[in-house]
Structure 1
């Protein structure tokens, strides 16, 4: 196998389909997800993975299918073991490394987690080229993503970063940004994760991890929440890389455009559609759905309120296409939690903004950063003395 070819193993679409099947409220998606899951398992002859998912989920076991795949796995592994034995007897270190890598990749492909990890680590020990070593570690990261093993993901991301700093090429540095960004989104660090994905947008090659459309989807979802209005237009709406796939992602197109153009009623519809069609069914984003929707609403409310000193509740409700009671209740919660700088005058039905003066805001920033600096100095002094 050429050094620059990265195999899309394990198939990361399968745990996504398994996730959908495991969610009762996604019953309308179950049939298609089950079909795609079984097709992927058959395509890669994943007997170990099939055995584990049928034991732990509602997916029924087809014993004849399992027997057939196990027989295929046995024959293929015997061939790979024989190849390794011959390499160890008669060939050099590079041939042994290639044989170990072939064996590790097959175990990874069929979803034999523990044996695949052990084999990949053995291959890593024997592999000399820095690029190939990075690829093996990133394969271990993908195994972690496949099985939802977060400790494994984190440890091997750190290992990959260390190897890349020692001698990673341009392509692997860019692919690593996608891996790191993908992981950061899974732990709700949308700002840093979004920055990394956006940085890799024009150089995306990590198709072994996710498709380009999925990559653009995650890039938009994370960055529309964290970018300023100016950067939203410059880096997303006007991006040629995003524009070429945006017709295939109409919900995200509506979300960005209506937020930027201040069509808040249409924005709320797009956000609700996004929640139901992309966030809730996503294995990666499902745990963060409520957080994301809440933060996007706060962003929209803040954007509108910043333009006015005061607004009636009625006009605010009309702008968002919701009832007065709804917007009153939601603003009250966000004001009470300190997320919106405004007050509600219930007597007159008016929302008044109370933005702090610029100098006061700057003063508070200096005080806060000064406290952080002093604390850091105190900790350092304890270490030194």
Structure 2
């Protein structure tokens, strides 16, 4: 089956609730997107709000506090808000890479595999039925003489030593206390948490979830999204192969990739769309395929979207492709199109109106940078 990128992007816009928007609940949207990045809470809120016909303020935080979503370090070591069942599958696959056992990780973060195992055991006991701030958790951990030397790294805002614990299901974020984060266990945060499945059982859930939103995709692009290519390539390819008839191989402008068989006919029948959408910082529309996908984001403009310190800019999406960036400056929407192109005024005003509703603030005017 041969497809065009215009078809693929139009199909992805629909699958990701960008166009048309949805009346579905927040958990369904987050599940379809395989999580929303939540390093910056406002970005997670905006990602969901822009996909809803009637956005509501603080909708993601409400679901996190009620336990219908879970916030934890997941894909690529970044914080995400996730639907619990998908979270369990994704974490199991990420943990199977056992990156904390690799020499480079040990050199960078100063903990041995045995110490990580001791941290998992201690954290599981300390957080059993409890919700603690980072300071409270670290103080409880370093009270153990065997873990005392890890105190400085445990207090690091990057959470490098805590990520392997999250990947193994030993901790997740709890409800924030003002501006202080808290930690608890997934079992305490999520009603009916069933723990992590075995990797071979988890992989089909993670792969099919990814392809539902971001297909067509290759095993390599799935691994890049999930673990920054930390998994063994032979294992990832095996997982794809074991899905058998559930996957269909397609060709998109010479690039071979996989879609779910249940979506193949729908994708082949999809017509390109002329549309303009404004999506926020760290949006899954670009994070799913990755900023290195030059069909989605021209390579010469990648640095305008993927910026210093891991920042991902808000994006202008035209016909499914990333065609510029935007920001709010003194109440104005300022749009910077790539290659000096003129802003697409015909549809941009409508997109700006919805952005204003999603942000919960007025936009005084729309102007080009």
Q: Give the structure-2-normalised TM-score.
A: 0.25
More strand by share: 2
* Relative contact order, higher structure (CA 8 A, sep 6+): 2
Q: Give the structure-1-normalised TM-score.
A: 0.24
More helix by share: 1
